[in-house]
Amino acid sequence: MASIAQGTREAGSRRDGLWLTLLLAAMVLLNYVDRGAVGIAAPKLKDDLMLSAAAFGVVVSAFSWVYAPAQFAVGWLSDRFCVYRMIAAGLAVWACATLLTGFANGFAVLVVLRVMLGVGEGVAFPSASKIIARHVTPQRRGLANGVVAVSLAWGPALGIFAGGLMLRYYGWRPIFFTFGSITLLWIVPWLLVSKPQWQRYERGSGKDVPVSRIMRNRTVWLMGIGHFFNTYGFYFLLAWLPLFLVKERGIPILEMTGMITISYVVQGFSAFGWGWVSDRLVKAGWDEGRLRIGLMCGYHLATAASILGIGLAASSTMILGWLVFGAVFGGIGGAHVYAIAQIYAGPRASGTWVGVMNGVGNTSGIVGPIITGLLIQYTASYLAAFVVSAAIVGTGAIWWWIALPKVEPVALD
């Protein structure tokens, strides 16, 4: 009887993990649809509101002013309180910020709403990592994070495709009205699926690891620096690529929309594929830590080459080729950095660990857009911005290989 009960509990846990992971993937998809909306709208928004390149860089950067430091607090909270409620509240805040951006009439309002968006979206990744570490077994860790990483690609793909069509035919404001309204609807299935967990995890895991202990751990800071190299290129392309293609290369909005959508769709399939392959290799006896570190190094090298290739390409065909090349490897970065964090931290501390890592890593979203805006404004060209971005991303390959200690659970007690 005991074995039957145990089997029932395990089956229930796997089922909960599946549905929660799928809904988390949908949340991340909406997260990146909304986060990237300002970049999609940029070709018309920037001119309509009379923003300089430097001013637009500040608008993009404003998202991370709060988003990056909020990661420290959200990570700590997700280990100690009901993470399922936190996700619902955060999503409501960022959906409202997205919707209200459609009413923006100037630089100051845009900055305030981007800050508000950063507050709401800050809940996503520490909380998602906490839930995956709690409900998903190590043998399925790569695939679960891969499913979420698919949304890192398909969120921008959906946003670029739908937003590009709206931008072409209706202008930039309907992009924000539509995206914000759709995001709010996600709360309904989340409440239905996660409600059984609310009482069980009302006070987090019940076995707190002091945040000071994690903050004193050298490895989490090393991972944060590695994540900075990881996110710098992502933020660069998300915010500036549509503007570059339309304004610098003269590519029509609909063609730009198709090119970027194709690359993100490919990246989504690559995220799922790399997650599945990595799990198969782990089951075959490969060292999980070294495997995932090696994949991160390959991802950084390929992404750096892709960014440089896009900046130097003279034709739309060459640009698309470099976009697809980067996308084939792009699915690695969004999944394996969190899988590595979950190995180091374990289920008890993964929320706080990812919060610290994300807090350090997403400072790239603060400094990167401002650096890019200044480089474009004062050189009257995008080339320097592409070269700097490629160099920073490429440095990440060296960092992940030499700076990180052996990937295994750290002693937090």
Radius of gyration of the chain (CA): 20
Q: Is residue 312 part of a domain?
A: yes
**CA–CA separation, 171 and 92 (whole Å):** 25
**CA–CA separation, 76 and 71 (whole Å):** 8
Name the 3-class secondary structure at 36. coil
Q: Is residue 407 part of a domain?
A: no
Which strand (E) or helix (H) includes residue 8? helix 2-35
pLDDT at 2: 40
Is 384 exposed, middle or buried, given 0-12, 13-18 or 19+ CB atoms closer than 10 A? middle
Q: Residue 317, Cα to own-chain centre: how many angstroms?
A: 27
Q: pLDDT digit string (tens) for 205-263?
A: 545 677 778 888 999 999 999 999 999 998 899 889 988 999 899 999 889 989 998 99
What is the per-residue DSSP string for 354-394? HHHHHHHHTTHHHHHHHHHHHHHHHHSSSHHHHHHHHHHHH
pLDDT at 128: 81
How many Cβ atoms are within 10 Å of 78's Cβ, its own excluded? 28
**CA–CA separation, 24 and 50 (whole Å):** 37
pLDDT at 359: 87
How many Cβ atoms are within 10 Å of 294's Cβ, its own excluded? 17
What is the per-residue DSSP string for 201-243? TTTTTSSPPPHHHHHT-HHHHHHHHHHHHHHHHHHHHHHHHHH
Q: Is residue 1 part of a domain?
A: no
pLDDT at 107: 93
pLDDT at 28: 87
In the predicted model, what is the mean pLDDT of the chain? 86
Supply 213's token pair: 């202990």
**Closest-CA residue to 412 (of 217, 224, 218, 220):** 217
Are 73 and 215 contacting, i.e. CB atoms less than 8 angstroms apart? no
Q: Is residue 72 part of a domain?
A: yes
Question: What's 154's domain CATH number?
Answer: 1.20.1250.20
Q: Residue 275, Cα to own-chain centre: how many angstroms?
A: 16
Supply 268's token pair: 């989504």
Torsion of CA 18, 20, 23, 27, to 10 degrees: -130
pLDDT at 239: 83
Q: How far is CA 67 from CA 72, 118, 124, 294, in A?
A: 10, 4, 10, 29
Domain that holds residue 13: 8-199+207-402
What residues in the chain have per-residue pLDDT under 50?
1-12, 206
pLDDT at 15: 63
Instruction: For residue 82, report the phi and psi dihedrals to the nearest 5 degrees.
Output: -70, 100
pLDDT at 1: 44
Supply 327's token pair: 């996308």
Q: Is residue 412 part of a domain?
A: no
Q: Is residue 186 part of a domain?
A: yes
Q: Is residue 374 part of a domain?
A: yes
Q: For the chain, how many structural domains are there in total?
A: 1
**CA–CA separation, 289 and 65 (whole Å):** 32
pLDDT at 4: 40
How many Cβ atoms are within 10 Å of 374's Cβ, its own excluded? 15
**CA–CA separation, 137 and 14 (whole Å):** 9
Q: Is residue 171 part of a domain?
A: yes
Supply 398's token pair: 């060296």
